[in-house]
Amino acid sequence: MRHLRRFFTSEHEHRLGRLLLKRLRKSLTLKEMENEQEKAPPEGRQQFKLEKDTELRLEIPEGKGKAELVLLHGQAEVFGTELIRNKRLTFNAGSKVAVYTWHGCTVEISGPPEWSYVSKETPMVMYLNLHMALEQMRQKVENTESDIGPRVMIVGPGDVGKSTLCQLMLNYAVRMGRRPVFVDLDVGQGYIGIPGSMGALLIERPADIEEGFPLQAPLVFHYGHVSPSPNEKLYNKISSAIAEITKQRFEQNKKAQVSGCIINTCGWVTGTGYRILVHAAEEFEVNVIVVLDQERTYNDLKKQFGNKVQIVHLPKSGGVVVRSQETRHSCRDDRVRAYFYGKKMNFYPHIFEVRFADIKIFKIGAPAVPDSCLPLGMSPDQNETKLVAVQPGRDLKHCVLALSAAESLEEDLVKTNIIGFVVVNEVDLDRQMMVVLSPAPRPLPRKFFLLSDVKFMDFK
Q: Same structural domain for residues 145 and 114?
A: no
| Weakest-pLDDT range from 75-89, 240-254, 379-393 | 379-393
Q: Same structural domain for residues 268 and 340?
A: no
Q: Same structural domain for residues 134 and 239?
A: yes
Question: pLDDT per residue over 105-148, tens digit each?
Answer: 999 998 776 678 999 999 999 999 999 999 999 999 998 877 89
> Which of 314, 344, 367 delimits the end of a domain?
314
Query: Which residues have CB under 8 Å from 190's CB, separation 6+?
Result: 184, 196, 197, 198, 332, 335
Q: Same structural domain for residues 144 and 265?
A: yes
Count the residues in the chain: 460
Average pLDDT over residues 262-283: 96
Q: Does residue 365 form part of some domain? A: yes
Q: Same structural domain for residues 140 and 89?
A: no
Residue 379: band (very low, low, confident or very high) from pLDDT cuts 50, 70, 90: low
Whole-number average pLDDT of the chain: 87
Q: Same structural domain for residues 301 and 167?
A: yes
pLDDT confidence of residue 440? 94
Q: Is the pLDDT of residue 31 over 70?
A: no
Q: Does residue 419 form part of some domain? A: yes
Q: Same structural domain for residues 180 and 310?
A: yes
Question: pLDDT per residue over 213-254, tens digit each?
Answer: 988 889 999 999 999 999 999 999 999 999 999 999 999 999
Average pLDDT over residues 445-457: 95
The CA-based diameter of the chain, rounded to the nearest angstrom, is 128
What domain count does the chain have? 3
Q: What is the CATH number of the domain that holds 269?
A: 3.40.50.300
More confident residue, 265 or 368: 265
Q: Is the pLDDT of residue 167 over 90?
A: yes
> Which of 95, 119, 143 delimits the end of a domain?
119
Q: Is the pLDDT of residue 5 over 50?
A: no
pLDDT confidence of residue 318? 85
* Residues 352, 38: Cα–Cα separation, whole Å: 54
Q: Same structural domain for residues 185 and 291?
A: yes
Residue 27: band (very low, low, confident or very high) from pLDDT cuts 50, 70, 90: very low
Query: Which residues have CB under 8 Å from 336's CB, separation 6+?
Result: 194, 195, 400, 421, 423, 454, 456
Answer positive or negative: Cα dihedral of 21, 24, 28, 34.
Answer: positive
> Which of 244, 279, 314 delimits the end of a domain?
314
Domain membership of residue 164 as a residue range: 124-314
Q: Same structural domain for residues 355 and 432?
A: yes
Query: Which residues have CB under 8 Å from 119's CB, separation 6+?
Result: 54, 55, 56, 57, 318, 319
Q: What is the CATH number of the domain that holds 71?
A: 2.60.120.1030
pLDDT confidence of residue 4? 33
Note whether 230 and 378 are within 8 A (CB): no
| Weakest-pLDDT range from 30-34, 111-115, 370-374, 393-397 | 30-34
Q: Same structural domain for residues 385 and 337?
A: yes
Average pLDDT over residues 88-100: 90
Query: Which residues have CB under 8 Å from 297's CB, separation 6+?
Result: 155, 156, 157, 269, 274, 291
Q: Same structural domain for residues 342 and 303?
A: no
Question: pLDDT per residue over 324-355, tens digit each?
Answer: 888 889 889 999 999 999 988 889 999 999 99
Average pLDDT over residues 250-267: 95
Q: Is the pLDDT of residue 314 over 70?
A: yes
Q: Does residue 9 form part of some domain? A: no
pLDDT confidence of residue 395? 95
pLDDT confidence of residue 17? 44
Amino acid letter at 285?
A: E
pLDDT confidence of residue 95? 85
**Phi/psi of residue 398, each to 5°?**
75, 5
Q: Is the pLDDT of residue 42 over 80?
A: no
Task: Say what the pTM is.
Answer: 0.87
Average pLDDT over residues 157-166: 94
Partners of 96 in beta bridges? 59
Q: Is the pLDDT of residue 8 over 60?
A: no
